[in-house]
Amino acid sequence: MSKTENVTEYIMQYMKEQITNGTWKVGEKIPSENDLCEKLGYSRTSVRSALQKYNVLGILRSEKGRGTFVCSDQVYIPDGLKMKGIISEDKNGMQSYMEWRQARNLIEPEIVYRVAQTASDELIEKLRRINQEQHNAIGNSLLYNQKDIEFHMAIVEAYGNPIITNIMHQLLENHNMMTYGNDQFGFLGGIYYHVLITDAIIRHDAKEARDLMLDHGLQTKKTDSGEKREWAPIRL
């Protein structure tokens, strides 16, 4: 993780604390970018990056000429993909899941990099709709998985290579792996990255879209001994 990303995460954590402890209340205007820069001692670029991410997630809303307002007090910051505590008794299941994720990481980051460069308005609207439908499906594992698959397949299909589309279809139709991932990592991590990936595609920022897809595939867990283990995504 770069120094800039670390600073952005620190600022996001500060903002989260202000919201969750009630200092910044829903509907209220938060301090200006200049005030935040002065208070935290970081550049406007870093503060703006944190604000932008929370805008994308619907936590904050920035209005030109008016400032930034709190829209929700349900704040989520992922740590790669935060785990809820991995079950040690199912090592084979976790190993299979990680191999499945690794296979996807060989394909999806490069695909989204290419798709983001020329993404159509039709694709962007489709991804936005799927994101909303997936958010509404939290708690319904079957429907959530369906929307998860739709999101990733929409990007792959936009690339237009039938062989890759067929490979990804077979990978994503493994509902056991999809369900296992949701059970272990929760629902919010996937939505967080889907929204940010969509935002990068909207801006045709191919590099950011690829980096986010790589982060999306990063899995982190703690063993019984407390040791932190990471499976890094594979870069093509």
**pLDDT string in tens for the chain (236-residue length):** 445 557 888 898 899 899 989 999 999 999 999 999 999 999 989 899 888 878 766 788 888 889 999 988 877 654 433 333 322 334 456 677 778 888 888 999 999 999 999 999 999 999 999 999 988 887 777 788 889 999 999 999 999 999 999 889 888 876 566 666 666 666 666 788 899 999 999 999 999 999 999 888 774 433 233 333 333 332 32
Q: Among 82, 28, 118, 19, which residue's Cα sits nearest to residue 215?
A: 82
Q: Are residues 107 and 175 in the same domain?
A: yes
Question: Are residues 153 and 226 located together in one domain of the fold?
Answer: yes
* Amino acid 151: pLDDT: 95
Bridge partner list, 221: 229
Instruction: Look at residue 82 and tell me if it is in a domain.
Output: no
Between CA 214 and CA 81 the distance in angstroms is 11
Which residues span the domain enclosing 226? 91-231
Q: In this structure, are 211 and 98 located in the same domain? A: yes
In a domain, 119, yes or no: yes
Residue 75 forms part of a structural domain: no
| Whole-number pLDDT of residue 117 | 97
Residue 65, C-beta contacts closer than 8 angstroms, at least 6 positions apart: none
> Do residues 146 and 180 share a domain?
yes
pLDDT at 220: 41
Secondary structure (3-state) at 118: coil
Answer whether residue 81 is part of any domain: no
Query: Is 17 a domain residue?
Result: yes
Tokens of 116: 């983001």
Q: Is residue 84 part of a domain?
A: no
Q: What is the count of structural domains for the chain?
A: 2
- For the domain that residue 170 is a member of, what is the CATH number? 1.20.120.530
Q: How far apart are CA 174 and CA 50, in angstroms?
A: 35
Residue that is written with structure tokens 């990063």 in the block: 218
Residues 6+ apart with CB under 8 A from 31: 39
Q: Element (H or E) spanning 231, and its range?
A: strand 228-231
Angle at 197 between CA 195 and CA 144, to 5 degrees: 50
Name 145's Cβ contacts closer than 8 Å, sequence gap at least 6.
175, 178, 179, 182
Per-residue pLDDT at 179: 65
- Identify whether residues 106 and 32 lie together within a single domain: no
Reference 96, options 172, 180, 162; nearest CA is: 180
Structural contact between residues 30 and 70, judged by C-beta atoms closer than 8 angstroms: yes
